[in-house]
Amino acid sequence: PPLFPPAAFDRGGGGLPSWDPSRTSNPSFDQGFLKAAFDGELHLVKKAARVVGRGAEGSRLAEKMGAVRDGYGMGLLHTAALGGSLSVCRYLVEDIRLDVDDVGPMGETPLTVAIGRQNVDLVRYFLDQGAATMKLNDSGSTPLHLAAAAGSCEIVELLLSSGAYVDALHLGGTALHSAARDGRDDIVKVLLDHHADHKIALGGTGYTALAIATVVHSLKCVKLLLEAGADVDGNCKETPLIIAAISGSTEILKCLVLAGADANVPDSLGRAPIEIAARSGRREDVEILFPVTSRIPNVRDWSVDGIIRHVKSVRPVKKAMLTSAKSKAHEAFKNGNYYLAARIYKEAMALDPGNATLLSNRSLCWLRLGDAKNALNDAQACSMMRPGWPKASYRQGTALMLLKDYEKACDAFLDGLKLELGNVELEDGLRQALESLKIYCS
């Protein structure tokens, strides 16, 4: 369900529709009741409660009030939280005794709704009333994941102070992974101050928070993680130094070298970081890496210029191999042989590990094979490798659609449209995701 009011909830005056006690349901009255809760009109909410309750008290009254839902299945407390009305929320929780952890159709609680609206006062109130900090929504996210993704430092602090588990895992990793991915050094600091485990690696890519911060070029996050004791060489297939060499993050490269990164650990193709930097023509990076790199036997002239000349001499051969691999993968895909295409794209990525387009194409192969998990892993890695690319958002959205995670699919398509307004693929994807979400919630 959207974290914004539907058209029927546009703010404005008005009373309550009539209520017919002889009917089993009164949708017009319920809509007016919900609108009053959203608008923060406490006197109307109390009036509606008396009508619905008809003399009921205690748990019976709470049961009747809890049955009032909108078309998505969101209750009165969710709706009051959406509208940001602390007074209505207090009345519903303390006087009516509605469940502070009432669960909506996608697993959202009043607390997570307040987090989505970044309403600090409401978050504090729900936590004071004992709201669960470890309740998962249907996507497997905890309130802490949602707060980190929303970018609210104060709410992250509140949740951690109320006992939220700092290292809770979901599909996208921990809250620390999420904050590092968004380059939110302020939230990374808060999480590290609460002893977030920087050693945890993401499934699929094996990336730690340090590796992710390197991918998104967040020097501040990299420094914070290193100061907290993060392993400078990581425990994934590609070290942070290799990632920095591939992406051309000179300042991060320098920072990692100063922190003692091992410049002799090769990538999956056996190339040292200095060779990767030289291949990309980044002389400054080669100069930074040269003093800490052991001599490579097949490089005759062991100097900065000699290394650059060496990689240039072998580049045409690899370029021809890459062109051939791309052509074969394209042909296999065109013929419907998606397994073969995915395998060839893997070989092509070994030749050009920084190529986000190859990852995007392999994600599409997994989609055609119905393998949503691998499709999403590749799409997420693609997004980290090439931030700000709408195609990566589209691939994530389509993979999430296959996983039937329509809410997150909507978010992915919306992220893409923020990058490229008017993109037809993304608009169609968002439309389908919203339709599927509506059907799922009905």
- Written as one string, the DSSP assignment of 20-83 is -TTSS--HHHHHHHHHHHHHT-HHHHHHHHHHHHTT--HHHHHHHHHT-B-TT--BHHHHHHHH
Give the pLDDT of residue 371.
Answer: 85
Q: Assess if residue 127 is contained within a domain.
A: yes
Is pLDDT at 15 greater than 60 in this prediction? no
Length of the chain: 442
C-alpha–C-alpha distance, residues 437 and 89, integer Å: 27
- Residues 376-404 have a mean pLDDT of 91
Q: Which of 78, 102, 132 is the last residue of a domain?
A: 132
Give the pLDDT of residue 352.
Answer: 83
Give the pLDDT of residue 4.
Answer: 38
Give the pLDDT of residue 251.
Answer: 97
Which residues contact residue 43 at a Cβ distance below 8 angstroms, ignoring those fewer than 6 apart? Answer: none
What is the domain-level CATH number for residue 88? 1.25.40.20
Q: Assess if residue 183 is contained within a domain.
A: no
CB neighbour burial string for 183-217, b if at least 16 within 10 angstroms, e if fewer: bbbebbbbbbebebebeebbeebebbbbbbbbbbb
Q: Specify the number of domains making up the chain.
A: 2
Per-residue pLDDT band for 110 (boundaries 50, 70, 90) equals: very high
Q: Assess if residue 351 is contained within a domain.
A: yes
**333-388 pLDDT per residue, tens:** 998 888 888 889 988 887 887 789 999 999 999 999 888 888 999 999 898 888 88
> Is residue 230 a contact partner of residue 198, using CB atoms and an 8 Å limit?
yes
> Is residue 127 a contact partner of residue 91, using CB atoms and an 8 Å limit?
no
Q: Assess if residue 286 is contained within a domain.
A: no
Q: Assess if residue 426 is contained within a domain.
A: yes
Give the pLDDT of residue 11.
Answer: 38
- Residues 114-119 have a mean pLDDT of 94
Query: End-to-end alpha-carbon separation of the chain, Å?
Result: 11
**251-264 pLDDT per residue, tens:** 999 999 999 999 99
- Residues 324-338 have a mean pLDDT of 90
Give the pLDDT of residue 25.
Answer: 54
- Residues 384-394 have a mean pLDDT of 90
Give the pLDDT of residue 6.
Answer: 40
Single-letter code of the amino acid located at 69: R
Give the pLDDT of residue 26.
Answer: 63
Is pLDDT at 85 greater than 90 in this prediction? yes
Domain that holds residue 373: 314-441
Is pLDDT at 8 greater than 60 in this prediction? no
Q: Which of 115, 132, 149 is the last residue of a domain?
A: 132
Q: Assess if residue 299 is contained within a domain.
A: no
**169-203 pLDDT per residue, tens:** 887 789 999 899 889 999 999 999 999 999 998 87
Q: How many CB atoms lie within 10 A of CB 258?
A: 12
Q: Assess if residue 220 is contained within a domain.
A: no
Q: Assess if residue 149 is contained within a domain.
A: no
C-alpha–C-alpha distance, residues 397 and 433, integer Å: 8
- What 3-state class would DSSP assign to 173? strand
Q: Which of 132, 163, 192 is the last residue of a domain?
A: 132
Give the pLDDT of residue 50.
Answer: 86
Contacts made by residues 51-54, CB under 8 angstroms, sequence distance 24+: 51/16, 51/19, 52/19, 54/21
Mean pLDDT check: name the lowest of 36-45, 98-107, 266-275: 266-275
Please report which helix (H) or strand (E) contains residue 442, including its range.
Answer: none
C-alpha–C-alpha distance, residues 113 and 165, integer Å: 19
* pLDDT over 70 percentage in the chain: 90
Give the pLDDT of residue 7.
Answer: 38
When the pLDDT of each residue in the chain is averaged and rounded to a whole number, the result is: 87
What is the domain-level CATH number for residue 327? 1.25.40.10
Is pLDDT at 113 greater than 50 in this prediction? yes
CB neighbour burial string for 123-154, b if at least 16 within 10 angstroms, e if fewer: bbbbbeeebbbebebbbebbbbbbbbbbebbe
**119-158 pLDDT per residue, tens:** 999 999 999 999 999 988 887 889 999 999 888 999 999 9
- Residues 209-229 have a mean pLDDT of 94
| pTM assigned to the model | 0.71
DSSP, res 95: I
Q: Does 226 or 10 have the greater pLDDT score?
A: 226
Give the pLDDT of residue 350.
Answer: 79
Q: Does 66 or 314 have the greater pLDDT score?
A: 66
Give the pLDDT of residue 410.
Answer: 92
